[in-house]
Amino acid sequence: MGIVRNTLALILSVVLSSCGGDGSNTSGGTISNGSSGGSSGGSNTSGCSLSERQNWVKSQLDEWYLFPTLLNNSVTPSAYTNVQDYIDALVAPARAQSKDRYFTYITSIAEENAYYNSGSTAGLGVRLALDSSSNRLFVVESFESGPALGVGIDRGTEILAIGTVENGLQTVSSLVASGGTQALTDALGPNDPGVSRVLQVYTNGQVSNVTVTKTNYNIDPVSNRYGAKVIDDNGTKVGYINLRTFIDSADSDLRTAMDTFRSQGIDKVIVDLRYNGGGLVDVSVLFGDLLGKANVGKVFSYTTYRDSKSSRNTTTNFSAQSQAIAPTKIAFIGMHGTASASELLTNAFIPYLGNNMALVGTNTYGKPVGQIGLDRSACDDRLRVMAFKTENANHQGEYFTGLATVVPNTCAAGDDIFHQLGDPSEAATRAALNFLSGQSCTPITSSASGTRTQAATPRRTLITPARPSAAQHETPGLF
């Protein structure tokens, strides 16, 4: 996840990531540079003992970490039984200042590459969100090639209970009461093909028990059900596109959608990134190019490393694309799961659209910094190190508390999970259409932390395991 178009000569990949949480297992995601989500870099020393891996991690952080004065150099490696806990201790001072909310982490090279190449992962094939005010668990999105949709579990389905057999179901409320969201993760079991769970669900007015067997599947970055469409809003054509994640396979989907908009002369667009935790920077830049026909040759973003790595600072400009359009107004739908590459894209348009753009929904995650990926291939370790910050053409980039404080217009709206994404009746989509038609709206009110916002419906938090997989880092709420 990086900010430049091509993989760096050092053979590392750069990443912008919110990485699955803020300490309470809330949403997050990643931006990565390059076409495959990462490549080998760092050291390939063969030793894979805990102490050797910890020593390698510390040396990489000492060389690359964006805020070197915020590393805790007094940490004793032997006090930690795994690499991630050691990393968390090292970067704790930065976390205390909300500059590294679990953005630096260790993951699997193989898993991450598979995800970036094609969206490959395994599990139920859904995004899950918890309404913490009532301890109710909902499916907010169901992926077309996943097993859950095949048994009728889609957006708006409520999961009431979870078990391995029907006579052993545990209610969601009892699980949350006993162990928080991690208890839900544990009850759902490992995301391995062949693992089955019995779910008691409420959908379409009926309660039923369904058995879902987890499988391998690929996430389609733009849904073929609702991901790209032209909405007729009282005679005005509006382009709607929902991008789930910034991965390689989004390229053709984005080009096809924008070419459709171009051929129909569309100049008002809704970009729905409400659950998009990030992904490849190359894809974020491409999306910007496709929306930025009027900005060719102008600055998309600046990327800045620590002083000792300033030779790697880069400027990325908008480039011409044959499918590109030049919107006069854009409504970006974003919520607390919107992070990193999504925020990069939104921020890039502030200098050019100004009051002709809006953030619709709630405040976003707040991740204007990014990671590089350093590999220790003998151990299948990829270390994602927060190593750079990003800014738009106006050098705006300090949105650690979310984009609501920097986007010129904001419109508060809830996530209406009982209407499909892209439905003009869905709350956030309707608010976006209203903005594009010139109607007034209620601004988003963000808290000091940037993670609580005014909204018209209960705040549901995309849940993430304490130790998310590579795909879960990038796709908030994925199970």
Can you give the pLDDT of all 479 residues of the chain as single tens digits? Answer: 232 223 332 334 444 443 433 333 333 344 444 323 333 345 555 699 999 999 999 999 999 999 999 999 999 999 999 999 999 999 999 999 999 998 999 999 999 999 988 889 999 999 999 998 999 999 999 999 999 999 999 999 999 999 999 999 999 999 999 999 999 999 999 999 999 999 999 998 999 999 999 999 999 999 999 999 999 999 999 999 999 999 999 999 999 999 999 999 999 999 999 999 998 889 999 999 999 999 999 999 999 999 999 999 999 999 999 999 999 999 999 999 999 999 999 999 999 999 999 999 999 999 999 888 999 999 999 999 999 999 999 999 999 999 999 999 999 999 999 999 999 999 999 999 999 999 999 999 865 334 333 444 557 999 999 889 989 988 999 99
Residue pair 40/398 in contact by the 8 Å Cβ criterion: no
For 79-227, where are the E strands, in sequence order? Answer: 105-108, 120-123, 126-131, 136-142, 158-163, 170-171, 196-203, 206-213, 215-218
End-to-end CA distance of the chain: 22
Element (H, E) at 179: helix 172-188
Looking at residue 9, the DSSP 8-state letter turns out to be T
Residue pair 428/442 in contact by the 8 Å Cβ criterion: no
CA distances 284 to 35, 103, 223, 230, Å, are 12, 19, 17, 22
Number of neighbours of residue 251 by Cβ within 10 angstroms = 17
- Residue corresponding to tokens 């549901």: 460
pTM here is: 0.90
**3 state SS of 64:** helix
